[in-house]
Amino acid sequence: MVSTNTNSLTSFIEKMGGDRALRVEESLGQGFVRLRVAEAERRQAKHDIRCSEDVVIEMLRNSRDAAAHRIFLATWREGDSRTFVILDDGQGVPENMRERIFDARVTSKLESVHMDRWGVHGRGMALYSIKENATKARVTSSLDGGGTAIEVETDVTQLAEKTDQSSWPTLGTNDEGERVIERGPHNIVRTCCEFALEEHPDCVLYLGSPAEIVATLRSRVRNAATNSDYLFVKDLEELPVCDRFCVASDARELCEVAVGCGLPISERTAHRILSGQIKPLRDVMARLTHAGPKSSRRVDLEADQRGLSLSKDDRDEFSRMMERDFEYLAQRYYLNLSQPPRIRVSGSRVTVSFDFEGED
């Protein structure tokens, strides 16, 4: 029996050809096959990353799971090429693991899996999925215990992105008074804003061009500039990745540090940073919550400025009325209310919220 199966598989492999055969573990007949694990992983990885915005969120989650508190993301586009460089102050990557972290199922989180609003993280598939969909993915610099810099390059003709990559979204509140992202295209900026809002204050995220990120690293990372231990360091690569920008002594050295991390700035740009011509960035959360001066609004002194106020008895009675009316939808769509309808009054608006769950 074993010999027969082996002969069948061998015959099938010969018919398929060498390259295709590498993807198949077993022929089941009638057009069905069992894929090899590596091929199944590759196909899943292709599916997991569908656009540039997916690359961004996976890179940010990777830095967060590496215990990073500060994350710096530079991104730019040249023709059909989109480049991302992310730097963080997380756990870092040992030198002998810098290539292997892009392999499938490679992770430092043996005992933990992180579940967040974007799904499960910690399977060792995020960086593998990025590499499978990118034209380039590499660790440009790292220090074990001292942060990491990763560069990813994609082809926008193969991995699409939103046309508008400059607009910032607006921040609002939902019915429960929680801050939420409202209007704005689902672009890279919005992806960063959603991450910053979700992870605040544990992760502080900065987003900008390579020059802006270098200026921010030079300005915001203070500890290296005042640490006397750094005064006698001969090789800047012995320092945590983000600290190297503060210790660079002149424009040439600052340029070398930046390029070494994947941030392509010129020595002239480095001079502009040192002279203060290129200003450091505010973090994404600060930019989102202070997008600009509030628009002035005329106040009509003759208008009634009082807002609607409902008594508790009226709220309760109105809630019961809404619950009775909801029964129409409940019967047609097999819904059950998980709690009585909630009534919220804000200014000149009354909002009714129905929390429901489907029947088992």
Assess whether 257 and 344 both reside in one domain: no
Opening angle at CA 24, ends 22 and 30, nearest 5: 145
Location of structure tokens 């807002």: 307
pLDDT at res. 250? 92
The answer to whether 105 touches 18, Cβ cutoff 8 Å, is no
Assess whether 274 and 343 both reside in one domain: no
What is the residue-level pLDDT of the chain in tens, covering all 360 positions? 444 454 554 554 455 455 556 666 566 666 565 646 555 555 554 557 889 999 999 999 999 989 999 999 999 999 999 999 999 999 999 999 999 888 877 776 645 565 667 666 555 678 888 988 999 999 999 999 999 999 999 999 999 999 999 999 988 888 777 888 888 899 999 999 999 999 999 999 999 999 999 999 998 765 454 566 676 777 888 899 999 998 888 999 999 999 999 999 999 999 999 999 999 999 999 998 875 444 334 434 344 445 567 787 888 888 888 888 888 888 888 888 878 888 887 666 788 888 877 544
The answer to whether position 300 is within a domain reads no
Assess whether 184 and 326 both reside in one domain: no
- Domain containing residue 152: 46-289
Residue type, 322: M
The answer to whether position 137 is within a domain reads yes
Assess whether 126 and 263 both reside in one domain: yes
The answer to whether 216 touches 74, Cβ cutoff 8 Å, is no
Assess whether 247 and 204 both reside in one domain: yes
pLDDT at res. 112? 57
Assess whether 98 and 17 both reside in one domain: no
The answer to whether 121 touches 65, Cβ cutoff 8 Å, is yes
The answer to whether position 297 is within a domain reads no
Q: Can you give the pTM of this predicted structure?
A: 0.70
Assess whether 280 and 318 both reside in one domain: no
Assess whether 85 and 26 both reside in one domain: no
Assess whether 29 and 130 both reside in one domain: no
The answer to whether position 296 is within a domain reads no
User: For the chain, what is the domain count?
Assistant: 3
